[in-house]
Amino acid sequence: MKKLFFGIDGGGTKSRLAAVDERGEILCTVCGSSTNQYAVGFEKACAAVADLFESLKKESGIVFKDFSAGCFASAGISTENEKEMFRAFFAEMSASCPVYVCSDALAALAGGTGKAEGLIVISGTGSIAAALRPDGRSSRSGGLGHLIGDEGSGFAIGLEGIRAAVRAADGRAEKTLLTEKLFAHYEVSDVRDLFSFLYTKFDKARIASFAPAVFEAARLKDAAAVRIIDGASCELALLAKSAYDKLFGGGKSERIGAVFSGGIFEHEKDFSRRTAERIQKLLPFVRVHERLYEPVRGACVLAQSVSEKVR
């Protein structure tokens, strides 16, 4: 009998489920709502998963009991307790179908490398790096949020740009193009006009939205902006090395592929190139390459390669 596998790429706003056969051919893909328990709550996250399988049944006739193994990769999953909660949920659906539960970063990793092994660095509004072995063991570095982490992210770049602009406007630092860009971007004429979203109604996305202006200033050789962008690139390279060393051990030379994901890498190609060069200087046995597949396909790769080994 032909074996079937499923992969779920669960996001903060929407999720996707794909069913594949033994050759990895996609048989059906369906979309649904968020499975991030910290965005919608655990019960609604589980309901969203159930809805995905109901949609799959309507589209293809495939039901959960038809699967040999699966992977649920979602935002909002990092600790063992979080994984165990979802393992219990899937076990109630079918005790005979092993499901590998992991963060959405690992689905992006497997999709990017095309196999259940490698390294990924993500820089969007936040930042994180993760590494994975074929046996399902994984590591992560970063992903600690904007208060104590998110180095090299759009938020961090935007915030550092705002700080540099404000310091210059206040006469405490060298003049920078960032000051003019700050006032133009947020349509204000005074630093204190920024307080509403910086303090009263804190908005990470609005702060991160200043990152493109910092990149633009750096391309114009603005010294403050260049320092911020170079610093962000270095931080992301360190995230990659940290995730690699945690999983493979410092000093070893496992040859694996690495990929990038997230809006910063997608929109700033020169930044991506320089960050790749830094990573390969720190980890000369790691090859950074373009992503092969989308994350939901990566979740299916994990289902086939990992789920039978990890319960």
pTM, two decimal places = 0.86
Q: What is the DSSP letter of 114?
A: S
d(Cα 255, Cα 280) in Å, to the nearest integer? Answer: 11
More confident residue, 305 or 119: 119
d(Cα 208, Cα 194) in Å, to the nearest integer? Answer: 14
d(Cα 54, Cα 48) in Å, to the nearest integer? Answer: 10
What pLDDT was estimated at residue 87? 94
Q: What is the mean pLDDT of the chain?
A: 92
Q: To which H or E segment does residue 127 belong?
A: strand 127-132
CA distances from residue 90 to 6, 67, 97, 159, 220 in whole angstroms, order as listed: 12, 12, 8, 41, 53
CA distances from residue 290 to 57, 234, 239 in whole angstroms, order as listed: 34, 20, 19
pLDDT band at 311 (very low <50, low <70, confident <90, very high): very low
Q: Decide if pLDDT at 172 tops 60.
A: yes
Tens-digit pLDDT profile for residues 161-170? 999 999 999 8
What value does the mean pLDDT take over residues 84-107?
91
CA distances from residue 157 to 36, 105, 119, 198 in whole angstroms, order as listed: 26, 21, 23, 15
Asked if residue 146 lies in contact with residue 286, where contact means CB atoms within 8 angstroms, the answer is no
Calculate what percentage of the chain has a pLDDT beyond 70.
96
What pLDDT was estimated at residue 308? 57
| Helices 211-219 and 154-169, axial angle in degrees (round to 10) | 70
Tens-digit pLDDT profile for residues 46-73? 999 999 999 999 999 999 999 999 999 9
Tokens of 76: 């909002």
Tens-digit pLDDT profile for residues 104-158? 999 999 999 999 999 999 998 889 999 999 888 899 999 888 889 899 999 999 9
Tokens of 162: 């705002």
Please, what are the domains in the chain?
4-114+292-305 (3.30.420.40), 118-291 (3.30.420.40)
Polymer length of the chain = 311
d(Cα 240, Cα 276) in Å, to the nearest integer? Answer: 10
Tokens 């206040």, located at residue: 170
